[in-house]
Chain A
Amino acid sequence: MTFRLTCPVCGKRDVYEFTFGGQDRGPRPAQEGLSAEEHFRWVQFRMIPGGWEGGEGGGVREGDRAAPQEEWWYHGQGCGVWFRTTRDPGTNREVEGGGGG
């Protein structure tokens, strides 16, 4: 479903103006002492708690709701800024006040 993101520079814009940059995992780990496995986990492995609301044709689901996550987005068709925002994978919506990080 089409939703909008809050760019800290441009304000609310259609999501299709942005590039998704993934969950915020913090800065790049130091290279010294980083094992190959740690590195590849950092790059690719994610935990995305589930739960989804209002399953089609069924009742509203309760419990184990997806946790809103901090993410990086790039306003490629706008100002060209990478910013952090909070979005809920369970609703596919930016969480109120999540923009502008």
Chain B
Amino acid sequence: MRLRRLWRPTPLKRHYDVIIIGGGVHGLATAYYLSRDFGITDVAVLESQYLGFGGSGRNTAIVRANQRTPENVRLYDEGLKLWRVLTDELDFNLMFFNCGSLLLGHSEASVGAFRMAASTHNFMGVHSELLDPRQCAEVIPGLDISDRPAFPIHAGLYHPPGGIVRHDAVVWGLAKGAAAHGVHIHQGCEVRGIDTDRGRVTGVRTSLGDIGCNRLGIMAGGYSSAIAAMLGIELPIHPLTIQAMVTHPLKPFLHHVFSSTAYHVYANQTLKGEIATGAHMDPQVNYTTDATAYYLKHQAEALVDLMPALRGVRFMRIWAGLADMTPDMAPIMEGHLGYDGLFLDAGWGYFGFKSGPVAGKYMAEYMATGERPEILEAFQLKRFLENRYSGETAAVMKYGHWD
């Protein structure tokens, strides 16, 4: 097998038509589609660390389309169908493991919520099923469906089209594809400021010098609000630390993704055999990626309550990443944000990985044409100024969306 670099090192030019801040799934996907579908190849992706440093390389790789509202289901469903397409297009195996996912409900109320979700999905042609506890245990042997757990299982929402994707492969594959179409990828290039002139974006100041541009995309995941702050732009986005961990590798026994609302847990078994599992997040805004002893312990409590067989399993590694949370758990995809030529694709919170390619596809269209694609109508910033939440979460917030 001949080994070649997946993307060529390229000289840093002093001006690009399009600059994208963030070498993660969203930024690379946008660059890929800009170059492939719109012939815009004078594009640079700037990554302050290394490709996939942020959320793209830190998530638990779960993909699914069982969102709550039709606007979101539609977008994620299209995204879910892209893994196979991209594997072919990029000639890079993204390792989509279409194992299906099971969301567990732990109350009578969750049954209604799941029925609402299943009815919405199936009406839209997205496969979902409402399961009773016994069926849940058939799908995932080892779940304790008795009354013993603190939160007994009442129902499941089974979603066969979901699964897991090798997250790093997506980053590398998109980098390969974008580079093949002429996109420049610059790692270790940290943006420190943004230049504007008479209401237009004109370039960025970076650790490697100033670079001019006509259009600028902020797609920096958890760091997006920090980038926006360089222009004094306030956003309803809070960067929060979210943690994940893996156990020692085991022979396959968990054949689906499962997650639980009451326990704030999601778990899947990677192709390598580890149980990759994530927890909820600390509420205070911050830009660190520090893990905590607290969550290691709480995650263990939750997992052994749900699946007692995991008691003897050991956690091998815990890490953290940033999630850019919005009040309604839906993203902000916006063009000409305060300045001509300034585009923002952020606020994905928990869902930044699964949405990456499809968001890139439509952001590319938006950046190329200047016209907002119809599918992105629901994700405008102004909804927060009009108090029109997307409904992706039903939960009512307390003081702010961090709680």
Contacts and interface: CB of A to CB of B under 8 A. Distances in A.
Chain B interface size range: 35 or more
Contacts of A43: 400
A83 to B, nearest CB: 14
Contacts of A36: 385-387
B125 to A, nearest CB: 34
Contact of A46 (B50, B236, B289): B236
Interface in B370-403: 384-387, 399-403
Interface string A33-46: 00011001101111
A61 B190 CA distance: 9
Please indicate which of the listed interface residues B225, B235, B284 has the most CB atoms of chain A within 10 Å of its own CB: B284
Nearest to A66: B287
Contacts of A22: 399-400, 402
B233 A47 contact: yes
B234 interface: yes
A20 B402 contact: yes
A45 B382 CA distance: 11
A29 B7 CA distance: 53
A66 B288 CA distance: 11
If over half of B's interface residues share one DSSP class (helix, strand or loop), that class is named, otherwise mixed; here it is: loop
A48 B229 contact: yes
Measured as residues with beta carbon below 8 angstroms from the partner, the interface class of chain A is 35 or more
Main secondary structure of the interface of A (DSSP, over half): loop
Interface in B313-338: 327
B48 A55 contact: yes
Interface in B246-295: 282-294
Given A50-B225, A55-B49, 7 more contacts: A1-B288, A1-B292, A2-B293, A44-B384, A46-B237, A48-B238, A92-B286
Interface of B: 48-50, 53, 188, 190, 192-193, 223, 225-230, 232-239, 241, 282-294, 327, 384-387, 399-403
29 contacts: A1-B288, A15-B284, A20-B283, A20-B403, A22-B400, A36-B385, A40-B385, A44-B401, A46-B234, A47-B225, A47-B233, A47-B235, A48-B225, A48-B229, A48-B238, A50-B225, A51-B226, A52-B226, A57-B49, A57-B53, A61-B48, A61-B190, A64-B226, A64-B230, A71-B284, A87-B284, A89-B287, A90-B288, A91-B288
